[in-house]
A and B are shown apart, each in its own frame.
Chain A
Amino acid sequence: MFGERIPNALNKDQLIDWLEQVLQPVEPSRRFLRRLRARLVTYQGGRLPSGWLLVVAGGLILVIAVISLGIALRFLIGLLSLLGLGRETRRRRKKDMQPTTT
């Protein structure tokens, strides 16, 4: 099997030739190279966001919170006024049905 490369006869030059033949560069898959490049060039996770980015993000969160609170309050007021309106209507009907004494 290893007739030409009997250990005792293997000299340094033969070993170097053998290494040159076997240790040949390989080509990574193009898909892998493309995907990794895309991941690295669009990669943000590893870097700390800049100060301005933090200010903008904080401001945006604050605006969204205020808007949400406004909407929630409007909704609550609307609901309460509807309840009040219903109660008032029922009270009036009750009053109208009662006989009047003159």
Chain B
Amino acid sequence: MNKPQVDDLKLVRQAASDLDAFGELYERHVRRIYNYIYFRTGNHHDAEDLTARVFERALRHIPKFEDKGVPFSAWLYRIAHNLVANWHRDRSRRPVVPLDDRFLSKGGRNQPEAEAVSQEEQRLLLAAVHLLPSDRQQLLILKFVQRFSNAEIGQIMGRTEGAIKSLYHRTLNSLRDDLARILKEGIAKEDPEQAEKEEKPTGKEKPK
């Protein structure tokens, strides 16, 4: 993220008067912003709408962009984060996020082993991710979808690397708890007898 940052800042200065420079910035960041919004909203329609709004807002405010040592991408993520927050507030439907089947069915294209993960399991995990507070969702998306390091995530989220590391571990723990709860509720609904067995182990299980 450091090397392109230099170029980004140069382009940002040009973009105030040169739309082609803005076009270049757009090409560099649009996919990542789209992915961020897609995983926060859960559908392509809203992801397209909000991505367009992020770049329109960026274009309007780019002459006011000040270099404070934070990369341009962090600025874009902040715009995206605010718009997604407004989107959730407007709709008041944060926990229920319908994920496009298009994504769920082709999730394993790049990694064949991912095909083994059933659609239902993907839905379950994504539902649990969407139950997390907004900053934790942001962290998981930046880490797993965008593959950013803790330091880069820290720049985007305005926190130190150590704070991100600690938030990451707390997020994993709380996600594990949420998954356990969701699964328990799911099993209880589908098969109450099985749920009871899960809750009270018989002691007959083979040791690992």
Residues of A within 8 A of B (CB): 1-2, 5-8, 10, 12, 15-16, 18-29, 32-33, 36-37, 39-43, 46-47
Contact = CB atoms under 8 A, between A and B. Distances in A.
18 contacts: A6-B183, A7-B176, A7-B180, A15-B172, A15-B176, A18-B125, A21-B114, A22-B114, A22-B117, A23-B144, A24-B145, A25-B35, A26-B34, A28-B38, A28-B47, A32-B48, A40-B23, A46-B56
Interface string B109-153: 011011001101110111001000000000011001110000000
Contacts of B111: 21, 24
B184 interface: yes
B60 A46 contact: yes
For the complex of A and B, 10 pairs with smallest distance between CB atoms: A7-B180, A23-B144, A46-B60, A21-B114, A28-B34, A41-B23, A41-B19, A23-B145, A22-B122, A22-B125
Contacts of B31: 25, 27-28
Interface residues of B, number: 50
A19 B39 CA distance: 13
A21 B140 CA distance: 13
Q: Give the interface SS of chain B, mostly helix, strand, loop or mixed.
A: helix
A26 B30 contact: no
B155 to A, nearest CB: 20
A7 B184 contact: yes
Nearest to B114: A21
Contact of A18 (B26, B47, B55, B117): B117
Contacts of A8: 180
A36 B55 contact: yes
Contacts of A7: 176, 179-180, 183-184
Interface of B: 19-20, 22-23, 26-27, 30-31, 34-35, 38-39, 44, 47-48, 51-52, 55-56, 59-60, 103, 107-108, 110-111, 113-114, 117-118, 120-122, 124-126, 129, 140-141, 144-146, 172, 175-176, 179-180, 183-184, 198
B26 A40 contact: yes
Nearest to A13: B172
B145 A40 contact: no
A44 B16 CA distance: 12
Given A40-B23, A41-B19, A41-B20, A20 B144 contact: yes
Given A41-B23, A47-B60, A36 B141 contact: no
A23 B30 contact: no
Nearest to B58: A40
